[in-house]
Amino acid sequence: MITLAKRPLHLVLFLLTLFGNVLLLFSIVFLFHHLTYHNALLMIEISVLCTMLAPWSIRMPSGASWRPGIPLLMLGIYTLPRELAMLIPLPGLIWITARAHSRFTKYLETFAHVALGLFISASAYSYLQNRLGGSSPALFISILTTLMLHLLINRFISAMIVAKREERSILDQLRLTVKELHWGYLNSYLLVFMGALLSRQFPMIAVFLTSAIQVGIFGAINDYNKVKSLQKSAWTDGLTGIENRHAWKSLLQAHERTPFSGSLIVVDVDHFKLVNDQFGHITGDEVLRDVAAALVSSLPSPARHFRYGGDEFIAYSPKSLSEEVMDSIRDKLKQVSQDRGIQNLRLEVSMGMATAPVDTPSIEETLQLADARMYEEKFRRAHPLISPLSQREKL
């Protein structure tokens, strides 16, 4: 059992959840004493639209979710008292949390997460309006400042929640969160900015137009992600997770029209058929994944890694490489083989490397030379007393 004292992140989330739900209780009391007809109509409009959008979300690789209803909630910051703005998301949050069959504590955590962002941002907007006045520049500054503040608070609390769930450090989760800030966020917050300006004259129209445009933005991003996912699956090897032969052919075609420079390493797993026959295809698949992992760890981005077919791999680096890289790959595979602890399993590969424009001028010739060097190494390993050159001359 995880105690709060042992996990500072759990303690911080507990305190934020407690504080956020206390604010919600005060907001409910405020609702019964200060609700006006105009505010009631706005609350109903925003709550209904947000509840309709509540199930919509895009799951990010980090584990966080991007929901199109969140920016719409932010219009409450500029159109309602802060206590009422906090209550707008309640129906939608109850719905999505219930659909997920979450525990009661998840309700409290979710309420606090959204409510704190709205409350702090609305308080900041009210403060800035009182201090800066009602001029157009002051209004722009107030709205932009509160938008940035809400983005920071919302993403930071979300990062803490996901870090707790995924058992990551908060710093690692924040790095992932920053990487995932896409154009959808910018477009949504620009939309809220325009909606906030329009809401000063036509609040209900501003809410409706903002929600309609936000639906379009979300639909476009969702469709783009689907196309991107299909494209990635078409160019990704399903077993190893690196790029496949189609992706390699695309790289070849791209360099038919442009000069090629960099290093290619061709890798072939030695005696792979014997591995499958002796240890089974499951072990054989693990061997292929190990080779791919060794290539990726030895040659990080911007290098690219391809499974060309069967037990053959190609690594491409836009920078010239030295022979030490191949030694690093062998060392990693040797360590993996020892860690697996399978008796008589020796994970060995033959490799050849060529560099353009030092060795050859084109990508096709660089690949041919690297492939020839790989087969020369494979021959030497199989026939240590015979020179590959002399054998080729006999043939």
Give the pLDDT confidence of 183-224 residue by residue, as tens digits: 667 778 888 999 999 998 898 999 889 888 888 878 877 787
Record the tokens describing residue 262, joined without a space: 């960099």
Cβ-defined contacts of 213-221 (< 8 Å, 24+): 214/53, 214/68, 214/71, 214/72, 214/188, 215/53, 215/68, 217/68, 217/184, 217/187, 217/188, 217/191, 218/53, 218/56, 218/58, 218/68, 218/184, 221/58, 221/182, 221/184
Please name which of 53, 58, 73, 175 lies closest in space to residue 115, comparing C-alpha atoms.
Answer: 73
Give the pLDDT confidence of 140-160 residue by residue, as tens digits: 999 999 999 998 998 888 888
Give the pLDDT confidence of 12-70 residue by residue, as tens digits: 888 999 999 999 999 999 999 898 999 999 999 999 988 888 878 777 766 667 777 87
Instruction: List domains and CATH numbers for the chain.
Output: 8-234 (1.10.1760), 245-394 (3.30.70.270)
- pLDDT tier for residue 301 given thresholds of 50, 70 and 90: confident
**Cα(352)–Cα(377) distance, integer angstroms:** 7
pTM metric for this prediction: 0.62
